[in-house]
Amino acid sequence: MLDEFFVSRKRKSWFSDFVSCKEGQPMSDIPKCPECDSEFAYPDGTLFVCPDCGHEWSAEDGDGTVASEDDGAIKDAHGNVLETGDTVKLTKDLKVKGTSTTLKIGTKVKNIRLVESSDGHNIDCKVDGIGQMKLKSEFVKKV
């Protein structure tokens, strides 16, 4: 009886040792690399540097929604490069600005046109039943 008590105490202390030996939490304030999604980026002065692809970016504009401006390519929610004339599907429900209409997830949009945009609405398209509108490439998927 006493032995059993002792053993369970011992086990308990071993367990808590094990827990306290675990590595500290990962540094969550360092963003992933916007180019290759690497988690191993590290801060270097006012910049972040990605050891995997060599990309450097400043901490200020790192909100994760910047559509790769380096090569000018506009990518969909899965990182596929979009081109004018492509057909895409919505990856989430989207409210149409200025109306009570909601575009449902999965809605197909044909013949998109890529446009320059400062607010992220970089797809110009015509949606059946709604008309001309603009979408964000991050909310669509190439079909």
Decide if residue 35 touches Zn ion (CB under 5 A): yes
Among the listed ranges 18-26, 43-51, 99-107, 110-118, the one in contact with Zn ion (CB under 5 A) is: 43-51
Decide if residue 56 touches Zn ion (CB under 5 A): no
* Residue in 139, 104, 114 with CA at minimum distance from that of residue 129: 104
Query: How many residues does this entry show for the chain?
Result: 143
Tokens of 92: 């989430």
Q: Helix, strand, coil % (nearest 5) of the chain?
A: 20, 25, 55
Decide if residue 70 touches Zn ion (CB under 5 A): no
Decide if residue 57 touches Zn ion (CB under 5 A): no
State in angstroms the smallest separation of the CB of 47 from Zn ion: 13
Instruction: Match 């191993």 to its residue by tokens.
Output: 40
Residue ranges that bind Zn ion, judged by CB under 5 A = 33, 35-36, 38, 50, 52-53, 55
